[in-house]
Structure 1
Amino acid sequence: MKLKSKILKDFIVVAVASVLVTMISLSLFFSLATYSVMKDDVKDYGEAVAAFLESSEEKGIEHFFEDSDNYGIIVADENGEIIYDNGIYDVYEQSINAVKNGQLELKVGDKYCYCQKLESGEILIISQEMDSFLDLFNEFIPVTVSVTLIIIFVCVIISSKLTRGIVKPIEEMAIDMEKAPYDELVPFTGMIKEQRQKLDDQMQRVLEAGKIRRDFTANVSHELKTPLTSISGYAEMIENGMAKPEDMQVFGKRIHRESMRLLRLIEDILKISQLESNQVPKDLEDVDIYELCKECRESLDILCEKYGVSIELKGQTAVIKGNRDMLHELIYNLCDNGIRYNHPGGKVFVTIKSPVEQNGVNGVNLIVEDNGIGIDEKHLSRIFERFYRVDKSRSKQTGGTGLGLAIVKHICEQYNGAVSIQSTLGKGTTITVFLPYVQ
């Protein structure tokens, strides 16, 4: 519905309703006022007639009542026998009964009756027809219709001008939101700008999410294709008899290595998909981060021996509420990165600090520091992205999937924690994870 039509409709409804209410009120008022005046008039006339009857002879009654066509007049003797009745209104029976019961005023249908007992014992009954509420209202109908039509015509003109006055500033604001012609519209423009900014931000997030999904799909396809291509190539050479007997062990070792890489990649993809869709275990238990770090260190003994790197653990017992497997995955990935991207003879320092406060929240700091190859500053802003690799050739050599730090970041978010990184190329990397005590 157009604004002009709505305003016109509202104007007409209000105007017509006002006219009807006014006319009904006036009809009711005049009905009550007329009834009151008519009662007084009937009483005055009755008293005049009574005075005449008490001072005159009965033979002059007809002559006195010749011009009384507006009133019903009945005169009865003390026994109730009618002496005179001008026959205008038939109210005798009800009036006589009322007089016997001591009632001097009564309504008989739409007639008002006034009764008076004279000194002679005679009974005088004066009656007159009243104008009903509907009669008065019907008299107002022509006026009501005329006034309503005039008001509708006026409403059309006023609504047209009023609509233009309302719509024009809005149209001007649509062209330039900074211009608010009226002070009352300033909050309105502010709200519109805020909503528009929210829509723009939401659209940007949707576009970014779409891009991330497309990139993720492309990266997954590429990452899965690489080890599968290697496995397929070596298997084809063995199948076609192109591999020499002395190379069979080498090819088998390479197939096993690529298979393990493929399995790790699939596992990491499943983990990060579960984290992003919030399909994570909700059962929380008391987990000692210090003891969990000791377990991870033991799990990584073989990898440490392979790369010639050692892990040093410092700190004290620090218990938080969490899922043990997820927290183990977080610590394991951080230590695994510190080992793989290190020098022979390098070290990984794992430090537990508790209690610590961050943004008014108490928790535990897990600090994993290495003296390895480090990361160039230009890569730090993207280091937690999925499949982002600083040195792709080294990642393939070390068997990394490019998802380890992305998993760490998502686990931190699940626990309302935070993760930060500091690194210097050629000197090493420090990653700090804050985990609150209570989730």
Structure 2
Amino acid sequence: MKRKIFRSMLLLSLVTLFLSVALLSIVLYQQLADDMKRELRNQAAYVTAGYYEGDIEYLEAIRGADRESRITLVDRDGTVLFDNRADVATMDNHRDRPEIAEAFSEGEGETIRQSDTVGTQYYYLATRLVDGRVLRVSSSSDSVTDALTSSGVVIVMILILMICLAILLARFETRRIVKPINQIDLEKPMKNKVYDELAPLLIRIHRLHDSVEEQMQELAERNKHFSEITESMEEGLVILDEIGHVVSANPSALTFLESGDGEYAGRHFSTMNRSLSLRNAVEAALLGNSSETVMTAGNRSFQLRANPVTRHGEVSGVILLLLDVTEKQKSELQRREFTANVSHELKTPLTAISGYAELLKNRMVPGDEAADFAGRIFEEASGLIALVEDVIRLSQLDERSVPEPLEEVDLLMAARSVMARLASKAKQANIEMTVDGSGGLILAVPHLIEELLINLCDNGIKYNKEGGSVDISVEQVPTGIRLIVADTGIGIPAEHQERIFERFYRVDQSHSKETGGTGLGLSIVKHIAAYHKATIELTSLEGQGTSIAVTFPIAIKKSL
């Protein structure tokens, strides 16, 4: 804008200067021409007066005195009698010359034309004398041009000076005009004191500013709302542009991809995670194809969905959604293992029952052994019933659909009751059982607490040493009421301790038939503890014994 204003002002100044010089030259030329004519008339008057005094001799006398003007005397028949610039003998008859002819007829004639005699353009003034002759005085028009040319150097110098001055003034005026415009506060357009001509523009800017500010506030609110939503999402969300650079990534995505807390906006997605699954999904989405796959990062698994964002038929970005499916996959694996284990645990006794029943059906068992076979069938059936009951119990605990209500349970009294029930079994195994501690009330389902104690104590008896012990203690701790069941048995190897609470998991599968049970005891213990919001701690040393501590919250009469 500044350059355009400068050019416009300079061009206007130059055009004005050149037009002024041209007009001045025309006026000056005309003025010089008029001065020349006036001088020529005066000169003609002087020569005429001299001619009347001295006739042609006067003309001869002044022949060399006037070198600028040309004086010619023409007789009545057009014959040239005198000329101070040419030889009259060589000159043609001048009666047909326009100024001569006009002087003969009108008394005076004048014209501007090129001389046929000397070949120069002249201004001629002819006057008829009293004797009928014509006296002509002329002057070359080149004298006017020469005078104008002699003034041209001064005019050119003045013109150059004026051009320089015009440039300086144009620059100064441009800066003066532009300065208030450059100082306009666009944030507060209506508070600017500037040209009145800019008022409509400032009003529009003010309205536009208000509109843009409202839109920016709305956009900021939307961005804030979007950030709050994405930051609170458990799923990972990553938005990429059309070349795979990160536009946005929520904290869950950074955690899932193990990318740290750095700023990834504007960086390539591969800087977040170099997983081949991620790269293939993004490349497919950039080509316009949606995809879904499972990728791993660290020790967790994620379901990755990559969808292209299209605009006018072209891919303008990619949206990545990551769902943590680690627990889902683990649950699915546990479900498959549980199904396989249940199938196996059911198949073995059912096969035995079927075999024994078939022998009895075909009367292939001696009469004195029939009762023994029936007893075996009863034992296998009892084991099946126990297994089914345990499975049902686990299902109820998983779904938190236990039908019995919560009640206040004295944990110490419950421990003593269980010890009394298992006293005979402990005596047969030569295991000493003890209960110690103070009473502690918890809010629980009584028969579930009893089942938890039976499972823990039963394991303590089955996996103990000859002459060992099982000690039950109840104590109050800052976090609640703690139940500890400790034995002096064979202990659990360290590599098995993490899985000991899994369903059907046994440390020594070869002795599972000897120890009996369904393999669900500790898993049920874990689920009963979780149902009552209790925590479990396992401490075990191989060959020295095992201690399991279950800490229950203090009884508060309200629903779990």
Q: Please, what TM-score do these two structures have when normalized by structure 2?
A: 0.43
Partner of 1:416: 533
Please say if 1:300 is aligned against 2:422.
yes
Listed one character per residue, the Cα deviations across residues 88-143 of structure 1 (whole Å, up to 9, x for unaligned) are xxxxxxxxxxxxxxxxxxxxxxxxxxxxxxxxxxxxxxxxxxxxxxxxxxxxxxxx
Match of 1:430 among 547, 552, 555: 547
Q: For each residue in 1:281-300, what CA deviation from the matched residue of structure 2 results, as whole angstroms up to 9, or x when unmatched?
A: 46222110000001111121
Shift of 1:322: 1.5
Cα shift readout 1:348-389 (whole Å, capped 9, x = no counterpart): 1111111x12xxxx3111110111122111111100000101
Aligned with residue 372 of structure 2, among 230, 250, 269: 250
| Alignment pair present for 1:376 and 2:498 | no
Give the corresponding residue for 2:455.
333
Matched to 2:548, the amino acid is I
Q: Is contact 1:353-1:366 (8 Å) kept?
A: yes
Partner of 1:222: 344
In the TM superposition, what whole-angstrom CA distance separates every residue of 1:185-227 from its partner, at most 9, and x where no partner exists? 5xx3234725966865532222222222222111111111111
Q: Is 1:384–1:406's contact at 8 Å kept on the other side of the alignment?
A: yes
Distance 1:306 1:206, change over 3 A: same
Distance (Å, rounded) in 1 between the aligned partners of 2:491 and 2:436: 22
SS of 1:243's equivalent? Answer: coil
Correspondent of 2:505 among 359, 365, 388: 388
Alignment match, 1:189: 249
The CA deviation at 1:253 is 2.8
Residue of structure 1 in register with 2:244 after alignment: 175
1:200-219 aligned at under 5 Å gives the runs: 200=322, 202-219=324-341
The C-alpha deviation readout for 1:368-419, integer Å capped at 9, x for no partner, is 0111122111111100000101122322222211101001111111111111
Worse-matched range after superposition: 270-279 or 235-244: 235-244
Q: What's the TM-score, normalizing by structure 1?
A: 0.55
User: Tell me, what secondary structure is at the counterpart of 2:250?
Assistant: helix
Distance, in Å, in 2 between the alignment partners of 1:288 and 1:316 is 10
> Residue 281 of structure 1 contacts residue 323 of structure 1 at CA under 8 Å; is this kept in 2?
no
Task: Please state how far the C-alpha of 1:434 moved relative to its aligned partner.
Answer: 0.8
- State yes or no: 1:310 paired with 2:370: no
Distance 1:174 1:401 in 2: 58
Aligned partner letter, 2:395: S
Shift of the 189–262 alpha-carbon distance from structure 1 to 2, 3 Å rule, reads: same
SS at match of 1:272: helix
Q: What amino acid is the match of 1:364?
A: I
Q: Which amino acid aligns with 2:244?
A: I
CA drift of 1:276 comes to: 0.5
Letter of the structure 2 residue corresponding to residue 395 of structure 1: S
Distance 2:425 2:432 in 1: 10
Question: Relative to 1, partners in 2 of residues 1:246 and 1:401: Cα closer, same or farther, differing over 3 Å?
Answer: same
Q: Given residue 404 of structure 1, which amino acid in structure 2 is its aligned partner? A: G
Corresponding position of 2:95: none
State which of 271, 275, 280 in structure 1 corresponds to 2:397.
275
Unpaired segments of 5 or more residues in structure 1? 1-168, 178-184
Shift of 1:238: 2.1
Specify whether residues 174 and 309 from structure 1 end up closer, same or farther in structure 2 by C-alpha distance, changes over 3 A only: farther
C-alpha distance in structure 1 between counterparts of 2:462 and 2:252, whole Å: 53
What stretches of structure 2 of length at least 5 have no aligned partner?
1-237, 258-301, 304-321
Q: Which amino acid aligns with 2:538?
A: I
| 1:405 aligns to 2:474 (yes or no) | no
Q: Distance in 1 between matches of 2:487 and 2:242?
A: 59
What's the secondary structure of 1:175's corresponding residue? coil
Kindly indicate whether residue 322 of structure 2 is the aligned counterpart of residue 322 of structure 1: no
> Which entry has the higher C-alpha Rg, 1 or 2?
2
The DSSP-based 3-state class of the residue aligned with 1:385 is: coil
SS of 2:471 mapped into structure 1: strand
Q: 1:255 to 1:310 in 2, by over 3 A?
A: farther
Relative to structure 2, which stretch is displaced further, 401-410 or 238-247?
Answer: 238-247
Q: Report what 2:23 is aligned to.
A: none
- Match in the other structure for 1:150: none
Whether contact under 8 Å (2:239, 2:249) holds in the other structure is no
Distance 1:245 1:195, change over 3 A: same
In structure 2, the CA distance between the partners of 1:173 and 1:414, relative to structure 1 (3 Å rule), is: farther
Query: Among the aligned pairs, what percent are the same residue?
Result: 40
SS of match in other structure, 1:317: coil
Q: Paired residue for 2:382?
A: 260
User: How many pairs are equivalent?
Assistant: 259
Structure 1: distance between partners of 2:252 and 2:496: 39
On the 8 A contact 1:333/1:408 being kept in 2, the answer is: yes
Letter in 1 for 2:492: I
Following superposition, the deviation at residue 170 of structure 1 comes to 5.8
In 1, Cα distance between equivalents of 2:244 and 2:505: 44
Name the stretch that deviates more: 201-210 or 340-349.
Answer: 201-210
State the 1:174 CA deviation: 7.3
Relative distance call for 1:244 and 1:385 in structure 2 (3 A) is same
More helix by share: 1
Residues 407 and 173 of structure 1: CA distance in aligned 2, closer, same or farther (over 3 Å): farther
Tell me the CA shift for residue 267 of structure 1: 1.0
| Change in CA separation of 1:235 and 1:436 when aligned onto 2, cut-off 3 Å | same
CA distance in 2, matches of 1:175, 1:306: 72
